[in-house]
Amino acid sequence: MHNADSLFRLDGRIALVAGAASGIGRASALGLASAGAITVCTDIDAAGAESVAEQIRVQEDHAESFALDIRDEAAVEAAVAKILEKHGRIDVLVSTPGVNVRKPLLSYTPAEFDKVAGLNLKGTFLVARAVARVMSEQKSGSIILMSSIRSITTEPGQGIYAATKAGLVQLARTFAAELGPAGVRVNCIAPGAVETPLTQPIKSRPEWYNAYAQKNALGRWARADEMAGPVVFLASAASSYVTGAVLFVDGGWTAIDGRFQPPL
């Protein structure tokens, strides 16, 4: 049994965050660290990852960082081995890297398809697989993949991105099915409109930005730090019976129609 405070604590847990330099990855790293996790911040932007680790160390004194491109299988395997050598285990994985090329499907090039699918789907698979092998051996752990509202709802220009985010849901569900007997949980978070570097092109166009804000029930975009709570929840004992799930953190975007306010 846990009390309300300890349910969400991650003291002494080893948490690997991929994509920790900015956006949701940064928020995830800070949130996990504030809950007590020893947080390993990784990103293709090594300086950005170290900056986040430094910010954590000011308050919590338990963070480290190194460069990691999750598209590189050898680098992923080496990173996991490095963490194992130092800490002997990995308790939490949060994988956040993502890229989008917004354009109609009819003009999408194979290179653009490979860029989006290669990072969003294949890269996420590579890091999840490497960590899942460790967790399967230690008979515990929580893997959190970053999907999107685009896994179930799309719009013109979002085709390949949406396909990868839907693919991540099925990837997580299959990992959950295969790793459940070993006590490993695997879930997705599906954010809505979140203010991150990835969505900066939308913010620079007020009519687009405002349309997204009005599409959800709360009438605003999310801050990246509003993803930290859901991440900590899925990483902690508070979600001990949650696996194979998709947690929509979208301000009600997928719950409502949102196109018209009927007279009542």
Catalytic residues: 161
Side-chain half-sphere of 230: how many Cα atoms within 13 Å? 24
Closest C-alpha to 194, from 216, 215, 224: 224
Half-sphere exposure of 217 (CA within 13 A, CB side): 8
Q: How far apart are CA 12 and CA 187, in angstroms?
A: 22
